[in-house]
Chain A
Amino acid sequence: MKKVLVILLLAVLGYYTAATFFDIGFGQPHFIKGLEPVKDIYLAQTVKTLKVSNAVTSIVVNFRGFDTLGEVTVLFLAVTVLGSVLYKKRHEVGERSVLFSASSIVTSGSKLLFPAIILLGAYVFIHGHLSPGGGFQGGVIIATGFLLMLLSYENYSVSHTALSVVESLAGITFAGVGLLGFLHGGTFLQNFLPTGVLNNLFSGGIIPIIYIAVGFKVGAELTGVIYTVLHEKGQSNG
């Protein structure tokens, strides 16, 4: 009886929530008529003032760069928390468990692929202000390269200290660039470099610098996550 009531209540709630979201009509060209949505300003200023051809990047790194700094911190914290939760286990169990070793096709293939993956990742975050992608995406691509190596070689290891140094330096770069903008222009994260010519690699002021820092940071952090979790000995196959 209780379960039926709960399901009924959820159904009613679900119906009204769904109805609300259907009413919104996503994908329509404008919001309530007569308002000036910020998106129009973003699109106009991206090309005019910031000289950046990827509008997503200009919003993520400049207009709402403060949010991105927060998101980077969220990732940093998630890694810290994961390390803290798994700390004892990692130190008591230590070694990785390997069910069966990778075949020679995988090991030699991954050796070939690894530099290419790293190169693609670096390309994606360096060109974040010119083409689709950016620091987060590039960082994830780099981490997949390390995942491939960890999967194909049983004793492949990444130095925790090195990861932590890269992570910290990248974070300091982001916050430091923000503070430099504060000292130069009076507001945090303000652009203080020349914006250059649209579509050039060296354009967009501080945007590429921040995105490169984010790329390093995300790459190091996700590699750290994979590494921490891999070194947990499972119950079933241990």
Chain B
Amino acid sequence: MVGTPVLFIAIPLLAAFLIPLLGMIWKELVRIVPGLVLTYLLILAINLLNHVLVHGPIVEVIAGWVPPIGINLVFSAFSGFLVTLMIFLGLLVWIYSYRFKRNVEYEPALKYFLMLMMLITGSVGIVLTGDIFNMFVFIEITSISAYGLTAFYKGRNSAEASFKYVMMGSIASTFLLLAIMIIYSQLGTLNMADIARKIHLMNPTLKIVSYIFFVTALGIEAEIFPLNGWAPDAYAEAPGPVGAAFAGIVVKAAVYAIIRYTYTIFDLSSSFSFLIIIGMITLIIAETAAIRQEKLKRMLAYSSIGQMGLVLVAFGFGTKEGVFAALFLMLNHAIIKSLLFFSGSYLVYNSTEKNIKEVNGMSKFLPVTSLLFAIGAFAIVGLPPFAGFWSKLSVLTAAADSNMILIMVLVLMVSVVELVYYLRVVNRIYFFKKEADTKPHKPTFNALFVMLVLGAIILLIGFYPDAVTGMLHKASASLMDKGQYIHNVLSLK
């Protein structure tokens, strides 16, 4: 073994404290160090994931106190898969934005890279931790960096978007603390496995209230329908790569948290149908809202919300196929939506309004970027030779296995809506005349490299879905096996 899970948190934190000092020596280090840290963590994550897929989960104790006394981290096939995905995307975001703000002052660049690294660390922490209060701390780290990144361009709109996000995020933290308080007041423990073992002793009213508080709090980060008011503004106002980081990393972490509470900690039987209902409402409302958007990034944001709704629906089936479909969907969404944000922000690079009509005729000026955007659009809708097809197919078969024909019909109908608004953009890119006042901006070498990597992965998964399905099956099995999780954590001596 090359390391242990705690390094995913300790190394970036150490680096974050070091970076301001290193920046005093050589300013370029501020940009380089986060990349080195992320590369190291990616290697570590892949090694640990390989180990875990063969030998079973790693449970790491912190400060020498075994659970339930101390805090512990769990690197299972499920959490390990998500950690690897997040760090991989984080590294791509770093490569994409390496030359970002190149010609501007040193201080904003320092803060941008610090916040980006902390955003990734916080999300990884949410996924790894085995303690509900520790998760709260990581959610704080993630959301504070997200507020800062949203307000990075100091305009009036980004300040408004960030303020909206801060207000909702603070309410979320309050609810989360209340929920943690209810559980601690009853069971006297904060360890997830210990709570899962004792939860049946809890008064059902208190159990339901705390579950609802958890879902409300995490739903704000996971963009569940009535709680996602911040998301379109934040995506539209934040720098382009940050949109990809939100969609690919932060939202995934929040969905993970909801799923961990539903599957492992609480034993409420009705929570699965609850997930299906809120997922379905989110999906339908977001996709119908997306079709009305006139700004490209807002459209992508609504599409991202809709995809998260679909993920929740798939988790709500409560079957192994459903979990598999949901994980596949999360993987594809992370890769495809990042590609769409990366290429989309070059299509409307020099515009102030970022309207969809400004992409008209861009294929002649930015052929590669346009092609990659089109691949992303087709893939996310679920057209055959691309990655998205397999995940959507697995959602539909999982629905059929659970005899939820109505859900199948609704998902297919919503996919048509999705197809319409994505094809509309692709159509504008390829078959419309360029607007007179738009100035195309050539992507940098780094950006092009990142987009090509993502495009290649989409095609690879599209043609050889077996490359990932084996790992996804193991990850879903590890999530479903609650007894094993409790045993793994609490059997440590």
Contact = CB atoms under 8 A, between A and B. Distances in A.
A88 B18 contact: no
Nearest to A178: B10
A35 B188 contact: yes
A105 B24 CA distance: 40
A218 B126 CA distance: 24
A138 to B, nearest CB: 19
B62 A77 contact: no
Given A32-B201, A84-B151, A190-B64, 13 more contacts: A23-B206, A31-B187, A35-B198, A38-B68, A42-B69, A62-B65, A63-B69, A71-B137, A77-B115, A81-B111, A164-B20, A182-B6, A182-B10
Contacts of B151: 81, 84-85
A188 B73 CA distance: 11
A63 B70 CA distance: 5
A83 B109 CA distance: 12
Contacts of A165: 20-21, 24
B134 interface: yes
Nearest to A74: B140
Query: Which A-B residue pairs are the 6 nearest by beta carbons?
Result: A37-B188, A171-B17, A81-B148, A70-B137, A84-B111, A31-B188
B133 A77 contact: no
Contact of A67 (B107, B137, B186, B187): B137
Q: How many of chain B's residues touch chain A, expressed as a range?
A: 35 or more
25 contacts: A16-B209, A31-B188, A37-B187, A38-B188, A63-B69, A63-B70, A70-B138, A70-B141, A71-B137, A77-B141, A77-B144, A77-B148, A83-B107, A84-B115, A84-B148, A88-B154, A168-B21, A171-B13, A172-B17, A172-B21, A179-B14, A187-B63, A188-B6, A190-B63, A191-B64
Most buried by B among A26, A185, A190: A190
A41 interface: yes
B185 A24 contact: yes
Given A71-B137, A80-B111, A85-B154, A187 B60 contact: yes
B467 interface: no
A35 B191 CA distance: 14
Given A17-B209, A35-B198, A42-B69, A73 B141 contact: yes
A163 to B, nearest CB: 10
B147 interface: yes
B186 A168 contact: no
Given A77-B148, A175-B13, A31 B71 contact: no
B189 interface: yes
B188 A64 contact: no
A205 B317 CA distance: 50
Nearest to B121: A73
B61 A73 contact: no
A64 B71 contact: yes
B16 interface: yes
A42 B187 CA distance: 15
A73 B63 contact: no
Contacts, number: 174
Contacts of A41: 69
B63 A63 contact: yes
Interface in A51-79: 62-67, 69-71, 73-74, 76-78
B118 interface: yes
A55 to B, nearest CB: 14
Interface of B: 6, 9-10, 13-14, 16-18, 20-21, 24, 60-65, 68-71, 107-108, 111-112, 114-115, 118, 125, 133-134, 137-138, 140-141, 144-145, 147-148, 151-152, 154, 159, 162, 182, 185-191, 198, 201-203, 205-206, 209
B493 to A, nearest CB: 13
Contacts of B145: 77, 81
A161 interface: yes
A181 B63 contact: yes
Contacts of A63: 63, 65, 69-70
B182 A69 contact: no
A65 B62 contact: yes
B60 to A, nearest CB: 7
Most buried by B among A38, A88, A190: A38
Contacts of B6: 182, 187-188
A140 interface: no
A189 to B, nearest CB: 4
Contacts of B71: 64, 66-67
Contacts of B60: 187-188
Contact of B137 (A20, A26, A74, A88): A74
Nearest to B213: A17
A186 B3 CA distance: 11
A24 B188 CA distance: 13
B438 to A, nearest CB: 27
Contact of A80 (B21, B68, B148): B148
Nearest to A32: B201
A78 B68 CA distance: 31
A112 B18 CA distance: 36
A84 B205 CA distance: 44
A214 to B, nearest CB: 13
Contacts of A17: 209
B182 A172 contact: no
Given A35-B187, A168-B20, A190-B64, A81 B209 contact: no
A77 B118 contact: yes
A78 B144 contact: yes
Given A24-B182, A73-B141, A76-B16, A189 B62 contact: yes
A36 B69 CA distance: 11
Contacts of B147: 81
Nearest to B64: A190
A168 B17 contact: yes
A66 B62 contact: yes
